[in-house]
Structure 1
Amino acid sequence: MVFLVKLSILISRLCQFIGGISLIIIVLTTMLDVIARYVFKLTGGEFGFTVKGSVEIVSYFMLFALLGAFAAFVERSQIIVDVFTQKMSKAVKGYMMGTFMMGFFIIGIVFAWGLYESAFDAIEYGKVTQDLRISMMPIYAISAFLSVLLAIRSLIESINIFKTGEFFDAEETGA
């Protein structure tokens, strides 16, 4: 069990890193695009530098950031409504949380499978992005990889909850 917990922590940190890098790229792309448009406006169109495909860059890296964050913090993803859970014992809450984690495992597998198939379809049919004209295969492949990491973490967290009964409880932490 210790190995699985360490693996889960390692996957979480990897996903946090991927999500963080994605957010940095989003911010830098947006800043560069805004600055370039402002300079274009100030020079009356003399300076015509623009960030080609900035909307695509931001949208695809937002996908990576969201999938990374989901995988990194899946054990904290449940919103617990006090009205429904305040009278429940910790054991019942743990069982519910373990069941939800198994649901996220299934969702991660479904996402990964669909994105995996989309990656091969992108190769077979030559799917490319609209503005940048780059292949969709790496975008689908990275998304499938992050979905696999979501599935792995969800399964590990579910096993841990069912085995130990311990789970992240926002009510206890005050989060």
Structure 2
Amino acid sequence: MIFLTKLSTLISRLCQFIGGISLVIIVLVTILDVGARYIFKLTGGDMGFTVKGSVEIVSYFMLFALLAAFAAYVERSQIIVDVFTQKMPKAIKGYMMGIFMMGFFFIGLVFTWGLYESALDAIEFGKVTQDLRLSMMPIYLISAALSLLLAIRSLIESINIFRTGEFFDAEEAGA
């Protein structure tokens, strides 16, 4: 069990890193694009530098950031309505949370399979992005890998909840 907990923590930190890098890239591309447009406006069109595909870059890195964040914080992702759960025993809440984590495990597997098939289709049919004309295959594969990490973490957290009965409780944490 200690190995699974360490593996879950390692995956969480890896996903936090990927999400953080993605957000930094989003911010830098946006700043560069806005700055270049401002310089273009100030110079009356003499300096025509623009960031090609900035919308694509931002949208695909936002996808990576969201998938990574979901995998990194899956154990904290449940919104529990106090009206339904405040009178429930902690054991029942834990059992429900374990079932939710198993649901996320299956959702992660479905996402992984679908994105993997999309990557294969991108190779077979030559799918490319609209502006930059980059192959969609690596985008789909990275998304599939992040979805697989979500599935793995969800399964580990579910096993942990069912074995120990301990889970992140937003009510107790004051979140």
In the other structure, the counterpart of 2:121 is 121
In the other structure, the counterpart of 1:41 is 41
The answer to whether structure 1 residue 88 and structure 2 residue 88 are counterparts is yes
CA offsets 1:71-99 (integer angstroms, 9 cap, x no match): 00000000011111001000000000000
What secondary structure does 2:103 align onto?
helix
Give the residue type in structure 1 aligned to 2:117: E
The answer to whether structure 1 residue 174 and structure 2 residue 163 are counterparts is no
In the other structure, the counterpart of 1:99 is 99
- In 2, distance between residues paired with 1:92 and 1:43? 65
- In 1, distance between residues paired with 2:169 and 2:102? 17
In the other structure, the counterpart of 2:160 is 160
Give the residue type in structure 2 aligned to 1:4: L
Gapped regions of structure 1 (runs ≥ 5): none
* Percent of aligned pairs sharing the same letter: 85
Gapped regions of structure 2 (runs ≥ 5): none
Once the two structures are TM-superposed, the CA of residue 160 in structure 1 deviates from its matched residue by 0.2
Q: Normalised by the size of structure 1, how large is the TM-score?
A: 1.00
C-alpha RMSD of matched pairs (Å): 0.3
What secondary structure does 1:116 align onto?
helix
Give the residue type in structure 2 aligned to 1:144: A
- In 2, distance between residues paired with 1:122 and 1:147? 18
Instruction: Please identify runs of 4+ aligned residues in structure 1 that moved more than 2 A.
Output: none
In the other structure, the counterpart of 2:76 is 76
Once the two structures are TM-superposed, the CA of residue 125 in structure 1 deviates from its matched residue by 0.3
- Aligned pair count reads 175
- In 1, distance between residues paired with 2:109 and 2:142? 14
- In 2, distance between residues paired with 1:112 and 1:92? 30
- In 2, distance between residues paired with 1:14 and 1:105? 18
- In 1, distance between residues paired with 2:77 and 2:12? 13
Once the two structures are TM-superposed, the CA of residue 106 in structure 1 deviates from its matched residue by 0.3
Once the two structures are TM-superposed, the CA of residue 161 in structure 1 deviates from its matched residue by 0.1
What secondary structure does 1:33 align onto?
helix
